Amino acid sequence: MNIPVKNKTLDRIDLSILDTLQRDGRIANVDLAKKVNLSASPCIDRVKRLEKEGYIDGFGARLNAAKLGYGTAAFIQVTLDRTTSEVFDKFRDAVVNIPQVAECHMVAGGFDYLLKLRLPNMDAYRSILAVIVDLPGVAQTHTYVVIEQVKNDRGLPLKATDSPQVAG
């Protein structure tokens, strides 16, 4: 399977490298090279190229939120009072400075933004909600507290076996 991306095509080896790294970012280059059937030098060259071209945003560890005291997750739908570029910019500039906001997505539909929060408890949620409702342009919020995380993002479906099958 080849994936065309902005006038370039990632080949099977590129996709295999990306898939392996997103599953195990700590894999040694020698082991990665063996896994994708390359020698070590061309493998590291490809990894560097994939980083340079922006296919790899960075490397990091997935942390256990509950063990670190952030076991409460909540999603907040935010509706703005006006949908102008000025209001969007002011909201965005303010929300990025709130460390409890793990993710912020502008969405299409019945509201404007979806925020994901990571918090130690409901008292912390109440405190941060007071900050969020006072952000520029916020007209309304709706909160959904996570009871159970059923699936966590483990990367993009880069292998042919990961992709949904489409009947032809």
**Model confidence pLDDT, tens digit, residues 81-93:** 999 999 999 999 9
Contact (Cβ atoms closer than 8 angstroms) between residue 115 and residue 130:
no
What's residue 167's pLDDT? 41
Residue 5: which pLDDT band, with cuts at 50, 70 and 90?
low
Query: DSSP code of 102?
Result: E
Beta-bridge partners for 78: 113, 141
What pLDDT band is residue 36 in, cutting at 50, 70 and 90? very high
Q: pLDDT tens across 106-118, in order? A: 999 999 999 999 9
SS3 50: helix
Distances (CA, A) of 8 to 11, 14, 22, 83: 10, 12, 21, 36
Indicate whether 1 pLDDT > 60.
no
Burial of 102: CB neighbours in 10 Å, binned 0-12, 13-18, 19+: middle
pLDDT for residue 159 = 75
Which domains can be identified in the chain, with CATH numbers? 3-52 (1.10.10.10), 72-145 (3.30.70.920)
